[in-house]
Structure 1
Amino acid sequence: MNRLVRNSILSLCMVFTFLPTEGWSSQSVEEARIERALQQIPQQVNKYHSLISTFTQKITHTTNYSQLVTVVDRMGEQLWQQSVSDNQAGSLYDDRALYWSRLQLTQRLKNTELQFNITSSQLDHLIWRLELASRGALQSTFKYNTTHKVFITGFDPFQLDSNIRQSNPAGVTALMLDNTMIQVGNEHIEIQAINFPVRFADFDKGIVETALAPVLSANQANMVMTISMGRSTFDLERFPGLRRSALAPDNLNVYSGGSYSQPIRPLLNGAELTGPEFIEFSLPVQAMLQVQYPYAIRDNHRVVTLTGVYYPESLAELEGEVSVEGSGGGYLSNEVSYRSLWLRQQMHSTVPMGHLHTPRLNGYNQPMLKKIVQQIKTIIKKGV
């Protein structure tokens, strides 16, 4: 990785590191699900048992905080890289081992007795770095001298209380396409990818901005596409909205705090996120809409404001409205799109960017996941 880019990432990490994150010093709701997952999907939970054991040994043998940070960074990156490698080499189409192993690493980090004392702020900092490293966010810069470069983001599995076996097509796509090359004629498209957590606190803490700022700082990419699991078809979400209104909880069973009648602004760096009520994406829509098989793909204009439901053709039609739902809804899938596009505007980037919702998956279905990933590859080809 280019040293300047890596330093930029680490600097951004420090900006958002020391905000308080409740629950990290005790067992989280996500970690509490590990036992049930072990009973129902033991192969996925135990897949990286040796890596987790090695992590425990290494942190036990560290003698100072600086060494501990280095171990956390390296082992987090190793978990991401191993999951990417195993998925691509074995055509696994499975993001669950990565998710459950990361939670075990955070458990070990919180519960292993060290040779020295650390503060709660230092522990929060370590877990934040472990999150970034194990999501690909510390090694996500482009590596090859290709004409076309595409950056994509996925999400963790969610709704796990309903189905502990749940996978997320967006997370699977990130693992299957990270650090890959797609050939188009005589040219190649390099793809780099990361995964985001399904937690409001991490978004408030700035994980989207931390991960994407280095990508946008020098217009490294030719296209950035955030991806999440959505409805029955593929949807290109044209008008992301500022506010949260979803009634569904996140993976910590924390609610957004917003509703249809009282949508709320998310936070960034301890303050309410500023920005327009709606933003329009900049993806090459017409080219992408050509890819209508095996699932349909729509250019979704639907938004909800405090005054009603609209299908605008332009942002001008939404002037004076207060957002309740963007085209992507009122949950984190809408928010990742809004935050990335707002960051793009603030950084004066010209990179085409927007959000893609995949068809919804119930539980785990490898044939369906394979179809979704292959169609996304074709969508990327057309877009570039």
Structure 2
Amino acid sequence: MRLTALLPLLTAVPLLAFPATAVAAPTPGCFDPAAALTVEEQRLTAALPAGGPAVGPELVRLAGFDPLVAEVKRDLCAARTSRRAARVVAQAGERLWRTAVDRAQGRRPDLGTLDRFDDRPLYWARLQLSSAIRQWRPSFPAPDRADLLKAFDRGSRGLDDVRFPPGRTRRVLVSGFDPFQLDGSGVRISNPAGASALQLDGRVLATPSGPALVQAVNFPVVWGYFDEGIVEAAYGEALRDRVRRPDVIMTISQGRPGRFDIERWAGAWRGGFPDNNNASVTGGVPPAAGWPQPDVQFIETTLPYARMLSVTGAYPVNFNQAFCVWPDSSQPGAGTPVCRSDAPAPGEIAASGGGGNYLSNESMYRSNRLRLGLGLNSLPGGHLHTPVLGQPTAPEALTDNDFEARRQAIAAEVVSLVTAAATDDRPPAAPPRAADAPRAAMDSLPGTVLPG
């Protein structure tokens, strides 16, 4: 959110090259349809029913995003230098994210007929453009394609749009996720966590303790991106900024049917469930290069869960205290995990956190490992699982009224839960003493970054 738009409110209140065998349909212009695509990008041709329109591109069309996609492709083909191509790609990512947020929050009623809460057009438009970047064949020496893809992806996920002002306004950083389990009829799936992130990005929430500015990003459901440090790029870069550091961090993902879960524990184990590129990874969560981080098996939430449990909405809110450990700490991965609801003992090896051992658990673990590594032990941080959204009722429908109503109800309750988490129940801070004035003055300088 731009600060110029924020001020009145405040005063009032990698990318990895995955192997692939299939290719996309021919695209006119400067693109090579024989260039290999990722498994995610290959799903752009998936149709329901067979012979009907491809689901992903149809959702992009229904949301009114297809002119944006076409324009970026034209601009990429028209680029005559590496510098111009890099600028086109970077601006495309940021423009796609901002368009998706503006549409989701009702500022672009001119865009399409699809429910504005729908997160799927952003996902599929991103894949259309990443496949175009991958298949782009310029007439001049191209910049590094991996760098282009990374720049586009960062922008299209909101990572380059996280801007907090200095001052006493509460700052909240949240993350959602892309849709996942997209094979077969799952190609229609939406992720209410991603939809909620679009509803929250840039909003100023009215909490009982004053306004709170929320910034949001969306993470991929791909193990490789996590290995490349996307969670650290989002949360670490924000947390180490002493002047504009968020006061609350919260990772959000889709969890169990019929309820919200505030997870007590995150565990340092990957269970191997296939990601959106059908890749599986099993073992301990690896360290993040270049960041301070403790070597711990479990991390406990510091979110104000008692206050969040008082939120009422369409779904009940639960404080999930479960976790699982391996029976023999000398052989992690062997045997049947032992699950409990008390607290992990020293020396026990994580088999799963309360949110399981997939990427949602890892997003909580990585973001809060950073929080602890930076010495922010008391800063509220943790994970929220939303209810499962499900799919449209008719087997071949892309949407229906019940599907849209469920997603809107989940997103509305997420906003209420984030508002509760953002409320500051501490007494107001005392004015700085005279001896502290030089440091306080330094903290107020725009762009000043001090060690945490």
TM bracket (short chain):
0.7 to 0.9
SS in structure 2 of the partner of residue 149 of structure 1? strand
Equivalent of residue 228 in structure 1, options 247, 253, 257: 253
Deviation at 1:277, TM superposition (A): 0.9
Cα 1:78–1:288, aligned 2, differ >3 Å: closer, same or farther? same
Deviation at 1:143, TM superposition (A): 4.8
Is 1:133 the counterpart of 2:155 in the alignment? yes
Contact 2:207 2:420 in 1 (8 A): no
Higher helix share: 1
Q: Rg bigger for which structure? A: 2
Amino acid at match of 2:18: E
Equivalent of residue 45 in structure 1, options 60, 64, 84: 60
CA–CA distance in structure 2, aligned partners of residues 186 and 351 of structure 1: 17
Cα 1:20–1:168, aligned 2, differ >3 Å: closer, same or farther? closer
Equivalent of residue 36 in structure 1, options 24, 46, 57: 46
Deviations 1:221-262 (A, max 9, x none): 12111000000211111110011014x310001112x2xxxx
Deviation at 1:75, TM superposition (A): 1.0
Contact 1:95 1:175 in 2 (8 A): yes
Equivalent of residue 376 in structure 1, options 408, 414, 427: 414
Report what 2:271 is aligned to.
245
Is 1:210 the counterpart of 2:244 in the alignment? no
SS in structure 1 of the partner of residue 298 of structure 2? coil
Cα 1:268–1:128, aligned 2, differ >3 Å: closer, same or farther? same
Equivalent of residue 22 in structure 1, options 18, 24, 41: 18
Equivalent of residue 379 in structure 2, options 342, 345, 351: 351
Q: What runs of 5+ residues in structure 1 fail to find an aligned partner?
A: 3-16
Could you tell me the TM-score, scaled by structure 1's length? 0.86
Is 1:150 the counterpart of 2:175 in the alignment? no
Deviation at 1:346, TM superposition (A): 1.4
Aligned residues with identical type, % of pairs: 34
Is 1:87 the counterpart of 2:104 in the alignment? yes
Cα 1:244–1:108, aligned 2, differ >3 Å: closer, same or farther? same
Equivalent of residue 281 in structure 1, options 301, 321, 328: 301
Cα 1:189–1:265, aligned 2, differ >3 Å: closer, same or farther? closer
Contact 1:302 1:309 in 2 (8 A): no
Equivalent of residue 358 in structure 2, options 312, 315, 331: 331
CA–CA distance in structure 2, aligned partners of residues 376 and 130 of structure 1: 28
Is 1:105 the counterpart of 2:105 in the alignment? no
Report what 2:317 is aligned to.
297
SS in structure 1 of the partner of residue 161 of structure 2? coil
Contact 1:179 1:192 in 2 (8 A): yes
CA–CA distance in structure 2, aligned partners of residues 241 and 32 of structure 1: 32
Deviation at 1:292, TM superposition (A): 4.1
Q: What runs of 5+ residues in structure 2 fail to find an aligned partner?
A: 3-13, 21-34, 48-52, 110-114, 328-336, 393-402, 424-452
Contact 1:216 1:351 in 2 (8 A): no
CA–CA distance in structure 2, aligned partners of residues 175 and 193 of structure 1: 7
Contact 2:16 2:224 in 1 (8 A): no
Amino acid at match of 2:269: R
Deviation at 1:166, TM superposition (A): 0.3
Report what 2:138 is aligned to.
114
CA–CA distance in structure 2, aligned partners of residues 319 and 226 of structure 1: 26
SS in structure 2 of the partner of residue 66 of structure 1? helix
Contact 2:57 2:125 in 1 (8 A): no
Cα RMSD, aligned residues only: 2.5
Deviation at 1:377, TM superposition (A): 1.4
Amino acid at match of 2:253: S
Contact 1:60 1:115 in 2 (8 A): no
